[in-house]
Protein backbone atom coordinates (compact mmCIF):
# COMPACT_ATOMS: atom_id res chain seq x y z
CA UNK A 1 0.00 0.00 0.00
CA UNK A 2 1.02 3.53 -0.62
CA UNK A 3 2.10 5.02 2.72
CA UNK A 4 2.46 8.58 1.47
CA UNK A 5 0.02 11.10 2.94
CA UNK A 6 -2.61 12.43 0.58
CA UNK A 7 -2.19 16.18 0.41
CA UNK A 8 -5.61 17.54 1.48
CA UNK A 9 -5.06 20.95 -0.10
CA UNK A 10 -8.11 23.19 0.14
CA UNK A 11 -11.74 22.18 -0.16
CA UNK A 12 -12.66 23.95 -3.38
CA UNK A 13 -15.70 21.67 -3.67
CA UNK A 14 -17.98 21.58 -0.60
CA UNK A 15 -18.26 18.21 1.12
CA UNK A 16 -22.03 18.25 0.79
CA UNK A 17 -24.99 20.40 -0.14
CA UNK A 18 -27.63 20.80 2.57
CA UNK A 19 -31.14 22.17 2.28
CA UNK A 20 -33.16 22.55 5.48
CA UNK A 21 -36.91 21.98 5.24
CA UNK A 22 -39.79 22.12 7.70
CA UNK A 23 -41.43 18.69 7.33
CA UNK A 24 -40.53 15.63 9.44
CA UNK A 25 -38.66 14.22 6.44
CA UNK A 26 -34.92 14.15 5.74
CA UNK A 27 -33.57 12.73 2.46
CA UNK A 28 -29.93 11.66 2.38
CA UNK A 29 -28.06 11.10 -0.88
CA UNK A 30 -24.68 9.64 0.07
CA UNK A 31 -23.67 8.21 -3.31
CA UNK A 32 -24.76 10.84 -5.83
CA UNK A 33 -21.47 12.78 -5.78
CA UNK A 34 -19.07 12.79 -8.70
CA UNK A 35 -16.15 14.91 -7.48
CA UNK A 36 -12.70 13.33 -7.13
CA UNK A 37 -10.06 15.49 -5.41
CA UNK A 38 -7.03 15.79 -7.71
CA UNK A 39 -4.69 13.86 -5.39
CA UNK A 40 -7.11 10.91 -5.41
CA UNK A 41 -8.17 11.20 -9.05
CA UNK A 42 -4.53 10.89 -10.10
CA UNK A 43 -4.39 7.42 -8.52
CA UNK A 44 -7.72 6.07 -9.78
CA UNK A 45 -7.44 3.63 -12.69
CA UNK A 46 -8.34 5.16 -16.05
CA UNK A 47 -11.05 2.50 -16.54
CA UNK A 48 -12.92 3.79 -13.46
CA UNK A 49 -12.61 7.55 -13.91
CA UNK A 50 -16.09 7.77 -15.44
CA UNK A 51 -17.37 6.60 -12.01
CA UNK A 52 -19.57 3.68 -13.11
CA UNK A 53 -20.89 3.00 -9.59
CA UNK A 54 -22.40 6.45 -9.06
CA UNK A 55 -26.05 6.77 -7.97
CA UNK A 56 -26.71 8.74 -11.12
CA UNK A 57 -29.00 11.79 -10.99
CA UNK A 58 -30.61 11.01 -7.66
CA UNK A 59 -30.85 14.77 -6.88
CA UNK A 60 -32.68 15.30 -10.18
CA UNK A 61 -35.04 12.42 -9.51
CA UNK A 62 -35.90 13.80 -6.06
CA UNK A 63 -36.15 17.42 -7.19
CA UNK A 64 -39.72 17.43 -5.84
CA UNK A 65 -38.38 17.55 -2.28
CA UNK A 66 -39.22 21.22 -1.85
CA UNK A 67 -42.91 20.51 -2.47
CA UNK A 68 -42.82 18.10 0.47
CA UNK A 69 -40.89 20.49 2.72
CA UNK A 70 -38.15 17.88 3.08
CA UNK A 71 -34.60 18.51 4.25
CA UNK A 72 -31.93 17.14 1.89
CA UNK A 73 -28.28 16.26 2.46
CA UNK A 74 -26.47 15.53 -0.79
CA UNK A 75 -22.88 14.30 -1.03
CA UNK A 76 -20.71 15.99 -3.64
CA UNK A 77 -17.71 13.64 -3.61
CA UNK A 78 -17.62 10.24 -5.29
CA UNK A 79 -18.08 7.10 -3.24
CA UNK A 80 -14.59 6.17 -4.50
CA UNK A 81 -13.20 8.80 -2.10
CA UNK A 82 -15.07 7.35 0.87
CA UNK A 83 -18.32 5.42 1.12
CA UNK A 84 -20.66 7.36 3.39
CA UNK A 85 -22.99 4.37 3.72
CA UNK A 86 -20.38 2.02 5.18
CA UNK A 87 -19.35 1.67 8.85
CA UNK A 88 -16.20 3.63 9.67
CA UNK A 89 -14.67 0.57 11.34
CA UNK A 90 -15.03 -1.52 8.19
CA UNK A 91 -17.56 -3.95 9.68
CA UNK A 92 -19.45 -5.98 7.09
CA UNK A 93 -23.09 -5.20 6.35
CA UNK A 94 -23.94 -8.39 4.46
CA UNK A 95 -21.89 -11.32 5.81
CA UNK A 96 -21.36 -13.92 3.13
CA UNK A 97 -22.10 -11.46 0.31
CA UNK A 98 -19.59 -9.51 -1.73
CA UNK A 99 -19.55 -5.81 -0.81
CA UNK A 100 -17.24 -2.84 -1.20
CA UNK A 101 -15.43 -1.20 1.72
CA UNK A 102 -15.55 2.24 3.32
CA UNK A 103 -12.66 3.28 1.06
CA UNK A 104 -13.31 1.10 -1.99
CA UNK A 105 -10.43 -0.54 -3.81
CA UNK A 106 -12.50 -2.08 -6.60
CA UNK A 107 -15.62 -1.33 -8.64
CA UNK A 108 -18.89 -3.23 -8.32
CA UNK A 109 -17.69 -5.37 -11.21
CA UNK A 110 -14.50 -6.27 -9.36
CA UNK A 111 -12.18 -4.08 -11.41
CA UNK A 112 -9.32 -2.56 -9.35
CA UNK A 113 -9.57 1.16 -8.62
CA UNK A 114 -5.84 1.49 -8.01
CA UNK A 115 -2.69 -0.04 -9.43
CA UNK A 116 -1.30 -2.84 -7.29
CA UNK A 117 0.39 -1.47 -4.19
CA UNK A 118 -1.22 1.97 -4.48
CA UNK A 119 -4.39 1.24 -2.50
CA UNK A 120 -5.13 3.60 0.42
CA UNK A 121 -3.10 2.85 3.52
CA UNK A 122 -4.64 2.62 6.99
CA UNK A 123 -3.47 6.18 7.70
CA UNK A 124 -4.97 7.45 4.44
CA UNK A 125 -8.27 5.73 5.19
CA UNK A 126 -8.42 7.35 8.62
CA UNK A 127 -7.60 10.73 7.08
CA UNK A 128 -10.43 10.32 4.55
CA UNK A 129 -12.83 9.37 7.32
CA UNK A 130 -11.90 12.48 9.25
CA UNK A 131 -12.01 14.80 6.26
CA UNK A 132 -15.00 13.49 4.30
CA UNK A 133 -17.01 10.88 6.23
CA UNK A 134 -17.44 12.42 9.69
CA UNK A 135 -18.55 15.92 8.58
CA UNK A 136 -21.34 14.41 6.46
CA UNK A 137 -22.62 12.31 9.33
CA UNK A 138 -22.36 15.13 11.84
CA UNK A 139 -24.55 17.28 9.59
CA UNK A 140 -26.99 14.43 8.98
CA UNK A 141 -27.36 13.91 12.74
CA UNK A 142 -28.12 17.60 13.23
CA UNK A 143 -30.72 17.57 10.47
CA UNK A 144 -32.50 14.58 12.01
CA UNK A 145 -32.39 16.08 15.50
CA UNK A 146 -33.78 19.39 14.22
CA UNK A 147 -36.91 17.75 12.81
CA UNK A 148 -37.20 15.43 15.79
CA UNK A 149 -37.24 18.46 18.09
CA UNK A 150 -39.76 20.24 15.87
CA UNK A 151 -42.19 17.36 15.28
CA UNK A 152 -41.38 14.66 17.82
CA UNK A 153 -40.68 12.22 14.98
CA UNK A 154 -38.68 12.11 11.74
CA UNK A 155 -38.39 9.90 8.69
CA UNK A 156 -34.92 9.63 7.18
CA UNK A 157 -35.17 8.42 3.59
CA UNK A 158 -31.82 7.13 2.31
CA UNK A 159 -31.94 7.58 -1.47
CA UNK A 160 -29.87 5.33 -3.74
CA UNK A 161 -29.77 3.82 -7.20
CA UNK A 162 -27.74 1.13 -8.91
CA UNK A 163 -27.47 -0.55 -12.30
CA UNK A 164 -30.27 -3.07 -12.74
CA UNK A 165 -27.79 -5.87 -13.40
CA UNK A 166 -24.54 -6.24 -11.46
CA UNK A 167 -23.65 -9.95 -11.59
CA UNK A 168 -20.87 -9.63 -9.01
CA UNK A 169 -23.33 -8.28 -6.42
CA UNK A 170 -26.62 -10.06 -7.13
CA UNK A 171 -28.16 -12.59 -9.48
CA UNK A 172 -30.42 -11.63 -12.34
CA UNK A 173 -32.17 -8.29 -12.72
CA UNK A 174 -33.00 -6.15 -9.72
CA UNK A 175 -36.63 -5.12 -9.08
CA UNK A 176 -37.28 -1.45 -9.86
CA UNK A 177 -37.75 -0.41 -6.23
CA UNK A 178 -35.85 -2.08 -3.39
CA UNK A 179 -36.95 -1.01 0.07
CA UNK A 180 -34.69 -1.73 3.04
CA UNK A 181 -35.70 -1.46 6.69
CA UNK A 182 -33.03 -3.70 8.23
CA UNK A 183 -35.61 -6.49 8.34
CA UNK A 184 -38.10 -4.22 10.08
CA UNK A 185 -35.77 -2.87 12.76
CA UNK A 186 -35.19 0.62 11.37
CA UNK A 187 -38.80 1.86 11.23
CA UNK A 188 -42.15 1.33 12.90
CA UNK A 189 -44.68 -1.18 11.64
CA UNK A 190 -47.01 1.72 10.79
CA UNK A 191 -44.42 3.36 8.54
CA UNK A 192 -43.67 0.04 6.87
CA UNK A 193 -47.39 -0.53 6.26
CA UNK A 194 -47.86 2.90 4.68
CA UNK A 195 -44.98 2.21 2.30
CA UNK A 196 -46.19 -1.30 1.47
CA UNK A 197 -49.72 0.00 0.83
CA UNK A 198 -48.56 2.60 -1.71
CA UNK A 199 -46.21 0.15 -3.40
CA UNK A 200 -48.92 -2.48 -3.66
CA UNK A 201 -51.47 -0.04 -5.05
CA UNK A 202 -49.41 0.65 -8.19
CA UNK A 203 -48.47 -1.69 -11.01
CA UNK A 204 -45.89 0.24 -13.02
CA UNK A 205 -42.81 -0.51 -10.90
CA UNK A 206 -41.75 -3.88 -9.54
CA UNK A 207 -40.63 -3.87 -5.92
CA UNK A 208 -39.32 -5.90 -3.04
CA UNK A 209 -38.94 -5.18 0.68
CA UNK A 210 -35.78 -6.33 2.48
CA UNK A 211 -34.51 -8.32 -0.46
CA UNK A 212 -30.86 -8.06 -1.55
CA UNK A 213 -30.68 -4.52 -0.14
CA UNK A 214 -31.86 -4.31 3.46
CA UNK A 215 -30.25 -0.95 4.19
CA UNK A 216 -26.66 0.10 4.72
CA UNK A 217 -24.91 1.86 7.56
CA UNK A 218 -27.20 4.89 7.47
CA UNK A 219 -30.35 2.79 7.80
CA UNK A 220 -28.96 0.60 10.56
CA UNK A 221 -27.17 3.31 12.51
CA UNK A 222 -29.80 6.05 12.56
CA UNK A 223 -32.93 3.92 12.69
CA UNK A 224 -34.41 4.27 16.19
CA UNK A 225 -38.18 3.89 15.87
CA UNK A 226 -38.66 3.75 19.65
CA UNK A 227 -37.11 7.23 19.80
CA UNK A 228 -39.15 8.64 16.92
CA UNK A 229 -36.62 8.17 14.10
CA UNK A 230 -37.68 5.92 11.23
CA UNK A 231 -35.13 5.18 8.50
CA UNK A 232 -35.84 3.59 5.13
CA UNK A 233 -33.39 2.91 2.32
CA UNK A 234 -34.69 3.04 -1.24
CA UNK A 235 -32.39 1.40 -3.78
CA UNK A 236 -33.70 2.05 -7.29
CA UNK A 237 -32.72 0.05 -10.37
CA UNK A 238 -31.49 2.72 -12.76
CA UNK A 239 -33.42 1.18 -15.64
CA UNK A 240 -36.58 2.53 -13.94
CA UNK A 241 -35.63 6.12 -14.78
CA UNK A 242 -32.53 6.12 -17.04
CA UNK A 243 -31.18 4.60 -20.21
CA UNK A 244 -28.45 2.44 -18.74
CA UNK A 245 -25.25 3.50 -20.44
CA UNK A 246 -21.79 3.68 -18.88
CA UNK A 247 -22.22 7.43 -18.28
CA UNK A 248 -25.96 8.11 -18.55
CA UNK A 249 -27.72 11.43 -18.92
CA UNK A 250 -30.86 12.57 -17.19
CA UNK A 251 -34.04 12.74 -19.27
CA UNK A 252 -36.83 14.36 -17.29
CA UNK A 253 -39.60 12.86 -19.45
CA UNK A 254 -38.27 9.33 -18.91
CA UNK A 255 -37.89 9.88 -15.17
CA UNK A 256 -41.20 11.71 -14.62
CA UNK A 257 -43.42 8.69 -13.78
CA UNK A 258 -41.03 7.46 -11.10
CA UNK A 259 -40.49 10.94 -9.66
CA UNK A 260 -44.25 11.41 -9.41
CA UNK A 261 -44.66 8.11 -7.61
CA UNK A 262 -41.76 8.77 -5.25
CA UNK A 263 -43.28 12.09 -4.25
CA UNK A 264 -46.53 10.33 -3.35
CA UNK A 265 -44.69 7.52 -1.56
CA UNK A 266 -42.54 9.81 0.57
CA UNK A 267 -45.47 12.05 1.36
CA UNK A 268 -47.45 9.08 2.63
CA UNK A 269 -44.51 7.53 4.47
CA UNK A 270 -43.69 10.76 6.32
CA UNK A 271 -47.41 11.48 6.96
CA UNK A 272 -47.31 14.86 5.27
CA UNK A 273 -50.95 16.03 5.45
CA UNK A 274 -51.67 16.30 1.71
CA UNK A 275 -50.55 12.69 1.20
CA UNK A 276 -52.17 10.92 4.15
CA UNK A 277 -54.65 8.26 3.13
190-249 pLDDT per residue, tens: 999 999 999 999 999 999 999 999 999 999 999 999 999 999 999 999 999 999 998 899
Within a domain: 107:
no
Residue 68 included in any domain: yes
Please check whether residue 160 lies inside any domain of the structure: yes
Domain contains 121: no
Mapped onto helix, strand or coil, the DSSP state of residue 97 is coil
What's the 3-state SS for 208-272?
EECCCCCCCHHHHHHCEHHHCEEEEEEEEEHHHCCCCCCCCCCCHHHHHHHHHHHHHHHHHHCCC
Distance, CA of 197 to CA of 124 (rounded, Å): 46
CA dist 121 and 205 (Å) reads 42
Give domain status of residue 125, yes or no: no
- Residue 140, domain extent: 16-33+51-79+135-271
Q: What is the pTM of this model?
A: 0.94
Question: For residue 150, what is the domain's CATH number?
Answer: 3.40.630.40
Cβ-based burial of 172 (10 A; exposed 0-12, middle 13-18, buried ≥19): exposed
Structural domain contains residue 106: no
The answer to the question of residue 234 being in a domain is yes
Count of domains in the chain? 1
Residue 227 within any structural domain of the chain: yes
H/E segment holding residue 162: strand 154-162
pLDDT digits (tens, 9 = 90+) for 253-266: 999 999 999 999 99
Rounded Cα gap, residues 156 and 235, in angstroms: 14
Amino acid sequence: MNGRPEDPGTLETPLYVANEGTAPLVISMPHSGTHLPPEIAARIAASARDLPDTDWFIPDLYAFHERLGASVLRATHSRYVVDLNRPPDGARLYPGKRETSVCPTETFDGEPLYTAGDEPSAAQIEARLERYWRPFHERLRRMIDRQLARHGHCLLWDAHSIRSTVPALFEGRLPDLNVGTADGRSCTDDTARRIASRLGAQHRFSFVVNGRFKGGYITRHYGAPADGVDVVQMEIAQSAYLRETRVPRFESVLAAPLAEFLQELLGAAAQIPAYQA
